[in-house]
Structure 1
Amino acid sequence: MKRSVLAGVFVTAAMLASPVFAAGSDKDLCQINLDKINNGKALLATDTSGKSGEIDTAVSQAKSAQSAGDEKKCIEITSKALQDLQNADKGGPQ
């Protein structure tokens, strides 16, 4: 049940942020993805597969790309990290 509630919160947050995607720029999407990852990391609190470390690495790389002004790279990295978070929550491919 705990996973279902957390997944529901995650999906709801994503849906509420949807209008921002339509009106926002790449810079906004990069930051939104970073925020989603930060919020979603709570799902990995009991992770023993090492996925949390991979997500941390991705966040670090994304922030570096963002600082360098490479928003496209930041979005690419954060999108993959979000997918990894979703797969980890579903018990999917690790």
Structure 2
Amino acid sequence: MKRTAIAGLLMSAALLASPVFAADNDLCTSKLQQLKAKVNALPASPDNTTMEIKRLLASAEASKAAGDDKKCVTEATQGLSLAN
């Protein structure tokens, strides 16, 4: 329960801390790079958390390709919070 609450707080803080006027595309690219680095550093493990992080990475990349930068940022942020 604590882990979920902390993850929610971190996601909220990350989304609120980003300036409204900043380009979402740059933030999406930055978050994706951070998440890719985290995924590459994860141990080879078939547990549910690792699979969820990889799913969020793939979904964030698909969102970026579709031009939905806000969804990309949200999913990459969620993946980062799970990876920590």
TM-score band by shorter chain is 0.5 to 0.7
Cα distance in 1, alignment partners of residues 40 and 68 from structure 2: 27
TM-score (norm 2): 0.66
Q: How far did 1:27 drift?
A: 0.4
Q: Deviations over 1:2-32 (max 9, x none)?
A: xxxxxxxxxxxxxxxxxxx779521011111
Extract structure 1 runs of 4+ deviating beyond 3 A.
21-24
- Give the counterpart of 2:73 among 60, 64, 75: 75
Corresponding letter in the other structure for 1:33 = K
CA RMSD of aligned residues (A): 2.1
Greater RCO (CA < 8 Å, at least 6 residues apart): 2
Conserved 8 A contact 2:24-2:69: yes
TM-score (norm 1): 0.59
1:49 to 2:38 alignment: no
State the structure with more CA Rg.
1
Aligned-residue sequence identity (percent) comes to 24
* Alignment match, 1:37: 35
Cα distance in 2, alignment partners of residues 34 and 43 from structure 1: 14
Q: How far did 1:58 drift?
A: 0.6
